Structure 1
Amino acid sequence: MVTISLILKIISLFIAGLCIILIEIDKERHILNTKMKTIIAILGILAFIYSLYMLWKIITLIRK
């Protein structure tokens, strides 16, 4: 169960990084349509929130 959780954490961080990279590339070249920009923004926000949740969990475990 720990392995699956770790894999999901790594994937969410990868998605967040990929979303940031895609948005930065799109600012220069305008290759994405509005629907894709919206989907990428939502995925990026969700991955970022999950990353903050993981950080909070780690901090609470360290304090115990």
Structure 2
Amino acid sequence: MSRADCVAYGDSLSDTALFGVVPVSVAVNGDDHVSGMATHAYTGGDLREAYDLVAGG
């Protein structure tokens, strides 16, 4: 498995380093820093919906 196979999920500035090294990332109820870097953004309370953004569910 390589970084190309990974997806990062995060919500704040401390997650931006991780978002910078994987090809797909999801800001979950993210602040401005992380939402601006993410390839996807989710706002809500059901994390399954955040996973579905990348899984194609």
Q: TM-score, normalised by structure 2?
A: 0.26
Who wins on radius of gyration, i.e. which is larger? Answer: 1
Q: TM-score, normalised by structure 1?
A: 0.25
Greater percentage in helix? 1
Structure with greater contact order relative to length (CA < 8 Å, sep ≥ 6): 1
